[in-house]
Amino acid sequence: MIAVALTSLIAFLLYLLTEWRGRKRQEGEPPLIKGWIPYIGKALEFGRDAHKFLTSYKEKYGDIFTVRIAGKYMTFIMDPVLYPNVIKHGRQLDFHEFSDQVAPVTFGYPPIRSAKFPGMDEEIQKSYRLLQGENLSSLTENMMGNLQLLFRQDYLGEEGEWRTGDMYRFCNQVMFEATFMTMYGKPTHSTRHAGMAALREKFEKFDAMFPLLIAQIPISLLGATKAIRDDLIHFFLPEKMSAWCGSSRFIQRRTEVFEQYDLLGDLDKAAHHFAILWASVGNTVPATFWATYYLATHPDALAAVRGELDRVLQLEGWESGPPPNITLTLEQLDSLLYLGSAISESLRLSSASMNIRVAQEDFTLRLERGRSITVRKGDVIALYPQSVHMDPDIFQDPEVYKFDRFVEDGREKTDFYKHGQKLKYYRMPFGSGSTKCPGRYFAVNEMKQFLSLLLLYFDVEVLEGQKKVALDSSRAGLGVLLPASEVRFRYRPRQP
């Protein structure tokens, strides 16, 4: 309720501010849809179902149109055939202008690209390489150990009895803590951190306000959010982190970088580490939930993915149960085609991130076959991949979950078409071009590991008589959507 009221208020203020200086469409510009988002009702409608909204405008105005949202002119490019033309315009279309303004305000650290911190941005960008390629193997190994530790200590009972639980909560508890330990390490004298549940609960409260923070609504207007964020940041103060051991090289490297800047205070450093926590679990947890939910509600998919795992681990016909300590190398994880496809398919159905870029100058954006549009400095160019993910021309029966949609002839299927043209971009849960999430490989590996262990160690069933879980669209545009409701399910150690 607070959220709705505030959004309306802000939308209204922006309406008052901007209505009198609305602009006119000029030669070469896309159709300009007037009186769009400034009206409160429309703004809320957009938030509720951006995909439907954009689709209806596409039918009326074509593949490219400009609308005004919260005082900004945004040109939506709806046809994925045109995506490469936008994505390669790195010079004129910059993403950082947006992220540099929004992320510091959201997480509470000073802007990175500032004269106060010379070279810090470059060092931070370089640190992301520690999440890629061969650097992934130690992270992935540690994640596997942490996942097994939690599954064993908290969920794998001895007796083989069914236990019931809430599926989102289950995924959240395991992924949050395992990811936390993999990134930041463990206390020196214990295998687990104290206070994880409290940290996770605070994180959830902060995360619920995330869309409003991204919308640049001052945190002081958001009730207890500021105090909650302060608590979360305090968890990462240098004196606390220095008592943990076995943190990832990624976090170690960032810590070293921050040490080099005297103007970066302890709270600023902690806020940076907190932002990485958000980046590590904010989307991965709901993505893990959806992958689990779809597998648990599609027995054929679950059997195929589990069969593939058994084959890769050569567990076919096992009698004494899966080994107590399972390792899966990066190559083995890569070879799990059906598991990979099942994850891609659930991301196709649940991710809704808007890719935006800000025009750095007036320029002509060349599209294809001589087509082009004129773009003004400061305008935003937006891609909304959910419209691609749900396009029936590209994905037959787009609302249906097909776990093997991305497998063909024993390998990953990569040819998808629109207007007879093969698409370069058809699956974009992690953004595009230079704005792609640097942690995407780690995120997918983590999900594969979680699901592998879940299917190898447990039987899982959704309890009957529950309605199909819908998407909660309150963060449409910002990433993987949350489920609108919980799912009751039961699990027990896997029976032969």
Ligand X SMILES: *[C@@H]1O[C@H](CO)[C@@H](O)[C@H](O)[C@H]1NC(C)=O
Q: Given the rule CB under 6 A, which residues bind ligand X? A: 126, 129-130, 132-135, 145, 325, 327
State the minimum distance, in angstroms, from the CB of residue 124 to ligand X: 12
Residue number, 22 or 133, with CB nearest to ligand X: 133
For 1, 23, 74, 111, 123, the CA distances from 70, given in Å and listed in that order, are 20, 14, 10, 23, 34
State the minimum distance, in angstroms, from the CB of residue 134 to ligand X: 5
- Two tokens, residue 426: 């058809």
Q: CA 77, 82, 86, 87 torsion: positive or negative?
A: positive
d(CA 282, CA 207): 7
Residue number, 133 or 218, with CB nearest to ligand X: 133
d(CA 94, CA 103): 15
Residue number, 77 or 144, with CB nearest to ligand X: 144
State the minimum distance, in angstroms, from the CB of residue 126 to ligand X: 6
- Two tokens, residue 270: 């902690």
Residue number, 309 or 358, with CB nearest to ligand X: 309
d(CA 123, CA 254): 8
State the minimum distance, in angstroms, from the CB of residue 250 to ligand X: 9
State the minimum distance, in angstroms, from the CB of residue 312 to ligand X: 16
User: Among residues 308, 338, 312, 322, which one has the least CA distance to residue 496?
Assistant: 322
d(CA 360, CA 232): 35
Q: Which residue is nearest to ligand X (CB)?
A: 133
Q: Is the Cβ–Cβ distance between 286 and 350 less than 8 Å?
A: yes
Question: Who contacts 311 (Cβ-Cβ below 8 Å, separation ≥6)?
Answer: none
State the minimum distance, in angstroms, from the CB of residue 104 to ligand X: 24
State the minimum distance, in angstroms, from the CB of residue 324 to ligand X: 7
d(CA 110, CA 116): 10
Residue number, 135 or 360, with CB nearest to ligand X: 135
Cα-to-chain-centroid distance, residue 320 = 38
Residue number, 132 or 153, with CB nearest to ligand X: 132
- Two tokens, residue 101: 């303004």
* 437 annotated to bind ligand: yes
CA angle 285–451–389, rounded 5-degree value:
60
In DSSP terms, which residues pair with 187 in a beta bridge? Answer: 244
d(CA 249, CA 210): 28
Residue number, 177 or 379, with CB nearest to ligand X: 177
- Residue list, annotated binding site: 283, 437
- Residue list, annotated binding site for substrate: 283
